[in-house]
Amino acid sequence: MSHETDSLLSSAAQPSGALQGLKVIDLTRVLGGPYCTMILADHGATVIKVEPPQGDETRDWGPPFREDGESAYFQGVNRNKRSIGLNLATEEGKAVLRRLLEDADVLIENFKPGTLEKWGLGFDEVLSKTYPRLIHCRVTGFGATGPLGGFPGYDAVIQAMSGMLSVNGSPESGPVRVGTPMVDMGTGLNAAIAILMAIVERSRSNQGQFLDITLYDSAVALLHPQGNNYLMSGKAPVITGNAHPNIYPYDTFKCMDKEIFLAVGNNGQWAKLVEALGAPELANDPRFTDNRNRSENRAEVKSELEAKLKNFKCDELATELLKKGVPAGPVNSIPEVMEHPHTLHRQMRVSDGNGYNALGVQAKLSRTPGSARRPPPFFGADTREVLLETGYSDTEIENLISNGTAFIQRQK
C-alpha cells in the first residue's frame, strides 16, 4: 500500500507489550468476546482462539472477502491470535481444554449460560478448585438469572430492548439502530477492563474469580445522559436527532459545502464561535446568553448560525474553530476518515502489505506499546503447534485430528 500505515512487525511470533506473559484461552465467537481478546492480544497476551469444527461464523460474514475467502468482519477483530479447531462436545475435546487451562491465566467464553456446567467445567464446582488462579470471564446476552436470564443476545436486539434505539434517530426517522455495533464492542471493552481488574486483584490474593459480563448491562450502562436524565426528572427522553438533549448548540449545521458538527459546551466557546462567524452580537443576545437559554431556543440558534455558516467551507472553518478552542468537526465519510492525515499519523490503520488491512491499536502506551504483529489466523492454522506445546506427542496429535477431536480444516 502507498499509505504510511502501521505495517505488521516481521517478528510475528514474538509477543510484546504490557500483557506479555499472560495466557488467554479464548472460546468466544462473533464480536464482543473476540474484540476483547484482540485488545489483550494487541498488548502482548498470548491468545489461543479455540474454534468449533465449523469455525467462527463471522469468517463467512460478508462481503467483503479477501481472495482467500476470509471476511473483513472476522479479520477486524482477530489479529495477533492463534487458532486451533476443537470439538468440545466430545470427552476428548474437553480433556484437551483442561490441558490448555493448566497454565492459563484467563478463560473467556460466550456460550449459553450453563453450557460449561453441563460439560462438567463449571467455575464454582470445577474450574475454581482445579485452577485456583484462573480468571473465568463469561460474556452473554442477559446473564444466567433474572426474567431474561439464559436468553441469547445480539447487538441490535439489545439496542432495541435497552432503549438505545428509542433515543437514536430523528423525529422524522423514528428509532434507528446505532450504525456501529456499540453494544457488542462496549461489552468487549467491559470484559477487557474486568479481566485487567481481576489480574490486578489476583496479584494481591493469588486467586482467580468469575466475571459475569452481559450485553444488556453494557447497553444500559451506556444510556448516559438519557437514562440519568429520566431517573432525575421522571420524564421520558425523546429523540433529538444529532442534537444533545442537555447542551446547545451541540448539533450538525449546514456550511457552504457540507455539514459541520458544533459542540459548544459553555459561554466562552459560544462567544468564540459567533465571533469567528462574524456575528459577535449574538454572544449578548438575551435568547442565547447561557446554555439554558440556548437549549430552550434551539430553532433560533440553528437559524442564526446556519445563516452565517453558509458563507464558510466546512473543513477550513472546523480547523479554524479548533484553533480557537471551539469543538467542531466536519461530518466525514468512512473513506475520508481512513485517508485522513491524522488517522495515518496516529497509526490507526494497519497492513501487512499482503492483503490484511484493518483498524489500528487504540491504546498508546509509552514504554510497552501494543502492536499488530500477525494477521488473523486461518482456521486451525496453529492446531498442531499449540497441542505440541501443551504436551501432546506428534502421534497423539495426529490421532486427535483423525478421530474428529481436533481440526485443521473447517467442517461444513
Whole-angstrom Cα distance, residue 242 to residue 359?
25
Per-residue cell: 397: 496429535
Classify domain 6-223+363-407 by CATH architecture: 3-Layer(aba) Sandwich (3.40)
Handedness of CA 164, 170, 176, 177 (dihedral sign): negative
Total Cβ atoms within 10 A of residue 405: 23
Domain ranges in the chain are 6-223+363-407, 259-330
Q: Which helix (H) or strand (E) holds 213?
A: strand 210-214
Whole-angstrom Cα distance, residue 209 to residue 198?
7
Whole-angstrom Cα distance, residue 202 to residue 170?
47
| Cβ atoms of 40 and 398 closer than 8 Å | no
Per-residue cell: 198: 481481576
Single out the residue of 198, 4, 36 nearest to residue 109, CA to CA: 36
Phi-psi region of 155 (alpha: psi -120 to 50; beta: other; left: phi over 0): alpha
42 is catalytic: no
In this prediction, residue 15 carries a pLDDT of: 67
Q: What is the DSSP string of 324-355?
A: TT--EEE---HHHHHH-HHHHHTT-EEE-SSS
| Cβ atoms of 150 and 142 closer than 8 Å | yes
Q: Grid coordinates 464492542 are at which residue? A: 185
Whole-angstrom Cα distance, residue 174 to residue 8?
43
DSSP 8-state secondary structure symbol assigned to residue 127: I
In this prediction, residue 118 carries a pLDDT of: 94
Per-residue cell: 337: 476518515
In this prediction, residue 353 carries a pLDDT of: 87
DSSP 8-state secondary structure symbol assigned to residue 282: G
Whole-angstrom Cα distance, residue 157 to residue 195?
26
Classify domain 259-330 by CATH architecture: 2-Layer Sandwich (3.30)
Per-residue cell: 10: 516481521
Alpha-carbon 295 to chain mean position? 32
Burial of 402 by CB count in 10 Å (0-12 exposed, 13-18 middle, 19+ buried)?
A: exposed
| Cβ atoms of 372 and 358 closer than 8 Å | yes
Per-residue cell: 296: 430552550
Whole-angstrom Cα distance, residue 9 to residue 406?
30
**Per annotation, catalytic residue among 26, 42, 155, 184:** 184
Handedness of CA 110, 48, 14, 341 (dihedral sign): negative
The answer, yes or no, to whether the previous bond of 335 is cis (omega within 30 of 0) is no
In this prediction, residue 3 carries a pLDDT of: 52
In this prediction, residue 9 carries a pLDDT of: 46
In this prediction, residue 398 carries a pLDDT of: 98
Per-residue cell: 287: 435568547
Per-residue pLDDT in tens (0 to 9) along the chain, 412 residues: 445 544 554 444 566 899 999 999 999 999 999 999 999 999 999 999 999 999 999 999 999 999 899 999 999 999 999 999 999 999 999 999 999 999 999 999 999 999 999 999 999 999 999 999 999 999 999 999 999 999 999 999 999 999 999 999 999 999 999 999 999 999 999 999 999 999 999 999 999 999 999 999 999 999 999 999 999 999 999 998 999 989 999 999 999 999 999 999 999 999 999 999 999 999 999 999 999 999 999 999 999 999 999 999 999 999 999 999 999 999 999 999 999 999 999 999 999 888 899 999 999 999 999 999 999 999 999 999 999 999 999 999 999 999 999 999 999 8
